[in-house]
């Protein structure tokens, strides 16, 4: 059966021609040769999507970073990609030119037209002037740190990190442990008193100041006399080795033979002072003190000792005679000062036929007018002529005095009187 296309025509209203009339129908009612309606064919066609293996509808995509295989790039997207490629090419070309210039500067000819492979080969041809010859081993490198030896092998160090350590000096050697030291470690300071180190010797940087007194003579300091051990002398500070002859002494200008009683030896000095002018005076503890001539003008002082027993001084024995012409002053005095601290009275056993002065004074050779404490003694006529009271005890008040004083007894007679004669038995202190 044959298929025909139907065309309907109608005379136009002007009756000048024919108008074509197309019948209105639905696509579903129009059947294609394969038996499918036009509607089916259109639907199938619209559902066909283009891919890399078949034709179909394609959606345009303006992105330049899409990875889709079912959309198509627009001309704008292609232009953007082209511009980026052109820019990358230019930068790569410029970079190659800079690398080539640097290689040429190292003595190997290169151009920007060389490929990257060629440039890499030429870099390897540069002569650095260094021949790999590393000699470090693991023990030379800090632990956990890596290094490459001359053979190109990567190795890890084994040297122990000691950090900052402190070493305390002692009488023996202190070992320094092998390993890495940060530089902040230290050896503790040694404090050495310079006065305890001999001059000329340096210990831990401290120069000694102790004087070496080994050998020679050195002036000491007199401390005093000890009844048990003797004279105490403090040596000057310094070092004495105990082997070389060293001497410590104190100097006294008064330690001479003429100041020492004849027959006595004091520190090797033998006395030559004759005993003729010395009489013993007694105190309450019966300790002997030398009595010597004091102020002497016109007259005499005689030491005529007939009895040293104080119990006999009240008798008729003449012990010491002091005779002064009228108008003159003669005296006897203790050769050494006496400590009057805590003493109330000092007594003298005596007889005087004129004016006598019993004195305590710091002046050994003073006259009767020089004193710290004084008692004037005047006997009555009956006392002078009475032989039964040859001696009497006269007391001098010294309670106001403290320290050492000389005790003097003066016979002085004013010029209007006759000479004075004193008989002295001794002094008593209590």
pLDDT on residue 327: 74
Domain 275-429 is found in CATH 2.60.120 = yes
Whether 108 contacts 118, CB under 8 Å: no
Report residue 400 as tokens. Answer: 């106001």
Q: Where are the domains of the chain?
A: 8-67, 216-249, 275-429
Helix (H) or strand (E) holding 246: strand 246-249
Beta partners for residue 234, in sequence order:
221
Whether 364 contacts 294, CB under 8 Å: yes
The full DSSP string for 96-110 is HHHHHHHHHHTT---
For 207, how many CA atoms within 13 A lie in the half-sphere containing its CB? 2
Q: Tell me the C-alpha to C-alpha distance, in Å, between residue 82 and each of 72, 86, 422.
A: 16, 6, 155
pLDDT on residue 221: 84
Question: Alpha-carbon distance 238 to 192, whole Å?
Answer: 16
Helix (H) or strand (E) holding 202: strand 202-203
pLDDT, averaged per 10 consecutive residues of the chain (430 residues), comes to 69 84 71 78 73 75 79 78 75 77 82 81 70 75 84 82 88 87 87 89 88 83 78 84 78 80 78 51 43 64 47 46 75 83 80 82 91 85 56 82 90 63 56
């Amino acid at each position: 059966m044959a298929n025909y296309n139907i065309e309907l025509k109608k005379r136009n209203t002007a009756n000048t021609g024919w108008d074509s009339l197309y019948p209105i129908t639905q696509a579903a009612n129009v059947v294609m040769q394969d038996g499918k309606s036009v509607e089916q064919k259109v639907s199938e066609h619209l559902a066909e999507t283009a891919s890399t293996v078949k034709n179909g509808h394609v959606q345009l995509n303006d992105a330049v970073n899409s990875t889709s295989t079912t959309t198509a790039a627009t001309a704008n997207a292609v232009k953007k990609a082209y511009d980026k490629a052109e820019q990358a090419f230019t930068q790569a070309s410029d970079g190659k030119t800079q690398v080539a210039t640097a290689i040429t500067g190292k003595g190997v000819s290169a151009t920007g037209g060389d490929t990257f492979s060629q440039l890499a080969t030429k870099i390897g041809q540069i002569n650095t002037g260094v021949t790999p010859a590393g000699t470090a081993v693991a023990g030379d490198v800090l632990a956990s740190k890596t290094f490459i030896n001359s053979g190109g092998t990567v190795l890890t160090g084994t040297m122990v990190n000691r950090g900052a350590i402190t070493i305390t000096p002692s009488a023996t050697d202190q070992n320094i442990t092998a390993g890495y030291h940060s530089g902040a470690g230290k050896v503790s300071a040694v404090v050495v008193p310079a006065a305890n180190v001999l001059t000329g010797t340096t210990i831990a940087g401290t120069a000694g100041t102790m004087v070496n007194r080994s050998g020679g003579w050195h002036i000491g300091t007199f401390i005093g006399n000890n009844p048990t051990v003797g004279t105490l002398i403090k040596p000057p500070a310094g070092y004495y080795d105990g082997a070389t002859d060293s001497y410590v002494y104190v100097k006294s200008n008064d330690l001479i033979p003429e100041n020492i009683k004849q027959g006595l030896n004091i520190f090797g000095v033998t006395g030559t002072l004759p005993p003729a002018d010395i009489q013993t005076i007694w105190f309450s503890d019966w300790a002997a003190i030398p009595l010597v001539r004091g102020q002497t003008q016109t007259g005499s002082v005689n030491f005529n000792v007939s009895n040293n027993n104080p119990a006999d001084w009240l008798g008729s024995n003449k012990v010491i005679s002091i005779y002064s012409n009228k108008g003159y002053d003669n005296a006897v005095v203790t050769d050494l000062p006496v400590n009057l601290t805590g003493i109330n009275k000092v007594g003298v056993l005596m007889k005087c036929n004129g004016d006598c002065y019993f004195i305590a004074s710091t002046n050994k050779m003073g006259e009767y007018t020089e004193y710290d404490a004084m008692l004037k003694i005047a006997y009555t006529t009956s006392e002078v002529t009475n032989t039964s009271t040859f001696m009497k005890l006269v007391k001098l008040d010294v309670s106001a005095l403290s320290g050492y004083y000389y005790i003097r007894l003066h016979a002085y007679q004013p010029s209007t009187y006759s000479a004075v004669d004193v008989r002295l038995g001794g002094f008593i202190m209590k």
